[in-house]
A and B are shown apart, each in its own frame.
Chain A
């Protein structure tokens, strides 16, 4: 079974600084997708960024970018110019093509200090 590991239960960053959240995954497949979701205190799941495994180029969405290392099965999220509104739980997730299932890591709680 595919697994997703987030080794940092909690992280903190100063406002306007940069922080990187780590994620590793285990799979023998070549067709899959990786995601970072944000869950603010409202508990609504918000898609932050998405990466297709067949694309070598790292995905970027405004202040959010990923470092996708396929051989190492690593998928980290970088948040630049951190804002107070970035404070949330961040979940890494894996979707295997044709499996119908999205598998989540246990999450990293990010605190942004003013």
Chain B
């Protein structure tokens, strides 16, 4: 069966520090991969999605970037974090259809 792993669960980082959040999927090939952010008390905002290795679509211009170095690996990065980058980050995958499966999320606090 398919599983999605996202880590770390919680992260506290100082302003200006780099960021790397990782997400991996098991049990499937060539999934669509997604990064969403949920600010406190807000809905989910799509940040990036990928339909294949090296293919990244950005939805919102910001301080973040995404990469897909392997088929089932999706990484969210920043060179210098801002206070506004704080939030709950969710990774998700699909088999190229409308059914998305979500990871357990990473709570990022930038201080």
Number of interface residues of B (CB under 8 A): 22
A102-B34 in contact (CB<8A):
yes
In whole angstroms, how far apart are the Cα atoms of A86 and B34 in the complex?
A: 27
Instruction: Kindly identify which residue among A33, A95, A100, A104 contacts B44, using a CB–CB cutoff of 8 Å.
Output: A104
Stretch of B18-26, B69-77, B97-105 at the chain-chain interface:
B97-105
The residues of B with any CB-CB pair to A shorter than 8 Å are 32, 34, 36, 42-46, 49, 51, 57, 59, 88, 90, 92, 96, 98-100, 102, 104-105
Residues in B whose Cβ lies below 8 Å from that of A106:
42-43
Contact A44 to B46, CB < 8 A, known contacts A33-B98, A100-B32: no
Number of interface residues of A (CB under 8 A): 19
In whole angstroms, how far apart are the Cα atoms of A44 and B104 in the complex?
A: 5
A95-B98 in contact (CB<8A):
yes
Residues in B whose Cβ lies below 8 Å from that of A50:
98-99
Tell me whether A101 is interfacial, beta carbon within 8 Å. Answer: yes
In whole angstroms, how far apart are the Cα atoms of A35 and B97 in the complex?
A: 13
Contact A97 to B98, CB < 8 A, known contacts A43-B105, A45-B90: yes
